[in-house]
Amino acid sequence: MKYDVADLSLAPVGKKRILWADNDMPVLATIRERFAKSKPLKGKNISACLHVTAETANLARTLKASGANVVLCASNPLSTQDDVAASLVKDFKISVFSICGENRSTYYKHINAAIDHKPVMTFDDGADLVNELHTRRKKDAGRIIASMEETTTGVIRLRAMANEGKLKFPVIAVNDAATKHLFDNRYGTGQSTVDGIIRATDFLMAGKRVVAAGYGWCGRGFAMRARGMGANVIVTEVDAIKALEASMDGFLVMPMAEAVKVGELFVTLTGNKNVIRAEHFRAMKDRAVVANSGHFNVELDIPGLKKLSKKIICNVRHCVDEYVLKNNKRIYLLAEGRLINLAAAEGHPASVMDMSFATQALQAEYVVKNQSRLSVAVHDVPMQIEQQIGRLKLKSMSINIDKLTAEQIAYLASSGEGT
Ligand SMILES: NC(=O)c1ccc[n+]([C@@H]2O[C@H](COP(=O)([O-])OP(=O)(O)OC[C@H]3O[C@@H](n4cnc5c(N)ncnc54)[C@H](O)[C@@H]3O)[C@@H](O)[C@H]2O)c1
């Protein structure tokens, strides 16, 4: 078995983390039990480019239980949990190519190792693997039945490829399933972003003036959780409806150029680039803290920040770099501008990844069963999968809900009854 991980001796700690996360992933465990009997992905080579965390390990175990040959590589250079990677190799016999802190060339070497596995199905978080299959590894694209995409930024990239007529195989926008973004992006990113910031800085959130850039699913979650801890949250947006929503949810809304004058902690969650630029850094207060929780580290103009600085002191604290600007103000950049929740904390809690990865697992089964019907396009997750995940999750939480009566079904389907 081929692999490239940091240190196999970390496996015992990683195994404990994987099993601890599994306790909070009952829907995925139910699917794994069924897959172990019916083997829906028997003999299929699968390459997954995902954050190598304890929760992802449980998805990889589920795919393996279904009969697939699974290889895992990282979807971000800083998000790998090295102990989990070691345990996957040693205890679960799953090939992993990922090392926390790997440089760009190793990151792509690992993605290419995952493609050397000759996958017929891929999983992506940000579309780096799919992009490689459309550029440098075009010859390997022909055998792909479908690829599953986990995050908003990946879906945006894939839709752009489809619009430009470049897409070579069917892809599934798993991120767009309600069972994914309503919970993972909102409650998962919301909680784990606060967690990452606190672990990196040990700051008190109460009374802090926090600026959240972006009021999409992740931004809403973060703003809500930061306020819950007593922060005074300001939202910046470019979309009029989202800005209105933020305002009526009770947040102050203003442009970034104004927010920089008052903010103490800035977090980008937009999926866009250069949301905080040189002119913003220059106008920030002394000792402002800046972090990103969007997919790529382009949301902050780090090259611009470097140009403004006369001195950079790395690691004044773990995951904190101090930039001393020419105007003598200090800016603290967290986790090199990479996903703060994964780089400084442990990513989303297992309970929410249970739904995301259960959606991924059922979608993989669906793709194999329906491959002849899947066109080369970006597809949504079918509603029956979403409903099944919803029912299983409610059951695992011992929550019962009402059922429509026959009379209510007829009423909802009719136009006859009025005032
Ligand atoms: N940290 C994580 O673990 C995690 C989890 C899920 C998604 N993500 C990533 O987070 C990012 C956001 O995802 P989402 O699901 O919230 O997307 P979304 O589309 O729901 O929201 C993005 C919001 O940002 C706004 N925006 C765009 N440019 C802006 C700018 N210049 N200034 C202010 N606002 C701007 C948009 O109008 C939109 O409302 C994506 O990159 C996604 O891949 C990260």
79 in contact with ligand 1, CB cutoff 6 A: no
214 in contact with ligand 1, CB cutoff 6 A: yes
CA distances from 231 to 198, 206, 260, 342 (A): 13, 5, 16, 22
Please write the tens of the pLDDT for every residue from 157-216.
999 999 999 999 999 999 999 999 999 999 999 999 999 999 999 999 999 999 999 999
CA-nearest of 70, 72, 64, 71 to 39 is 64
Task: Copy the structure tokens of residue 216.
Answer: 């999409």
278 has a pLDDT exceeding 90? yes
- Closest-lying ligand 1 atom to the alpha carbon of residue 274: 31
Please write the tens of the pLDDT for every residue from 301-332.
999 999 999 999 999 999 999 999 999 999 99
With the most atoms of ligand 1 within 8 angstroms of its CB, the residue from 195, 238, 254, 270 to mutate is 270
* φ, ψ for residue 268, nearest 5 deg: -95, 135
Q: Under a CB-based contact definition with an 8 Å cutoff, are residues 188 and 211 in contact?
A: no
Please write the tens of the pLDDT for every residue from 359-377.
999 999 999 999 999 999 9
308 in contact with ligand 1, CB cutoff 6 A: no
Instruction: Work out whether strand 232-236 and strand 209-213 pair parallel, antiparallel, or are unpaired.
Output: parallel
257 in contact with ligand 1, CB cutoff 6 A: no
Please write the tens of the pLDDT for every residue from 47-67.
999 999 999 999 999 999 999
- Closest-lying ligand 1 atom to the alpha carbon of residue 275: 31
350 has a pLDDT exceeding 90? yes
Q: How confident is the model at residue 279 (pLDDT cuts 50, 70, 90)?
A: very high
CA-nearest of 244, 189, 250, 254 to 222 is 189
353 in contact with ligand 1, CB cutoff 6 A: no
419 has a pLDDT exceeding 90? no
- Closest-lying ligand 1 atom to the alpha carbon of residue 181: 15
Distance CA 71, CA 95 (A): 5
300 in contact with ligand 1, CB cutoff 6 A: no
With the most atoms of ligand 1 within 8 angstroms of its CB, the residue from 50, 125, 128, 152 to mutate is 152
How much distance in Å is there from the Cα of 418 to the middle of ligand 1? Answer: 42
Q: What is the reported pLDDT for 250?
A: 98
Q: How confident is the model at residue 417 (pLDDT cuts 50, 70, 90)?
A: confident
152 has a pLDDT exceeding 90? yes
Task: Copy the structure tokens of residue 254.
Answer: 């203003």
Distance CA 232, CA 230 (A): 7
181 in contact with ligand 1, CB cutoff 6 A: yes
Please write the tens of the pLDDT for every residue from 5-49.
999 999 999 999 999 999 999 999 999 999 999 999 999 999 999
How much distance in Å is there from the Cα of 271 to the middle of ligand 1? Answer: 4
416 has a pLDDT exceeding 90? no
